[in-house]
Amino acid sequence: MRNSWAVCKREFASYFTTPIGYVVVGIFAAISGLAFSASFLFYAKVSVNPAMYAYSSVPDFEETLLSPFLTFCGTLIVFIGPLVTMRLLAEERNRGTMELLLTQPLRDREIIFGKYLAALGMLVVMMGVVAVHLLIVSWYVQVEGAVLVFGLATVFMMGAAFFSLGLFVSSVTSNQVTAGTLTFGLWFILYILGSFAEDLPEANPAPESWGETFRNGVGFLYDIFRGFLHQLPIDFHAKEMAKGIVQPEDIAYYVLFAAFFLFLTFRSLESRKWRA
């Protein structure tokens, strides 16, 4: 644990001794700030004249402004997340410091955990930017506490899950651009597969002419397949949570997602022991 902390400190500090930390946080602050102002102005217009925008009364603040904004921040983190995670292990490989890292008395899990913590540190910094927006809002409006807390938690969990994917990709290549592109590409593929599932018919695709048992079997597998595709987009479980409606399965999804990719990273780093 102490070793993880040492790795984490070095890694996190290097975000801010190189331009990358400032660029990522700066871009995030600029875009989330613009998005926030835009949606705030829109909400102001709607609440002055709800009828014009097909609302019967002034719409709920949390539902129309806050939750969509938080979900947007989550998506934004996913967009610039590859910039945070792509260097984690790929850069060590590329500049040869991997040799130094792996000959220090550090266990693989300490290295991986330390790197992951450093990336989460960047996430916390970005969440800090979001928190500033929310503080400004709570100055003027009475905001539901649950929405605030769970909204932020949602963004954090979504980012944390996504960063674990990025860490894994960074562990399989020695080129940062490859790692970044792959991470972003994987996210996009998951996203597209998810919307593909939306369009799949709900009914059993097996023809009527097939035997009943066989048909039921196909239908059963098809349902699992469709359900699986549905769950792939990383923001699928965030939408409800950002409204303050938390279900254990949503939290479990993100925790398992992160655990799965951390496990893969561990295996990937370990593979040096049996690969030539």
Binding site for another protein (CB under 8 A): 3, 6-7, 9-10, 13-14, 17-18, 95-100, 102-107, 272-274, 276
- Exposed/middle/buried for residue 187 (C-beta within 10 Å: 0-12, 13-18, 19+): buried
Q: What interhelical angle do 176-199 and 212-231 show, nearest 10?
A: 130
CB of 3 to another protein, least distance (A): 6
CB of 262 to another protein, least distance (A): 20
CB of 112 to another protein, least distance (A): 14
Residue 49 vs 97, nearer CB to another protein: 97
Residues ≥6 apart with Cβ < 8 Å to 260: 164
Residues 240 and 250: beta-carbon distance below 8 Å: yes
CB of 115 to another protein, least distance (A): 13
- The alpha-carbon radius of gyration of the chain (Å, integer) is 22
* Residue closest to 120 by CA, chosen among 152, 79, 72, 162: 162
Residue 14 vs 231, nearer CB to another protein: 14
Residue 45 vs 107, nearer CB to another protein: 107
Residue 6 vs 124, nearer CB to another protein: 6
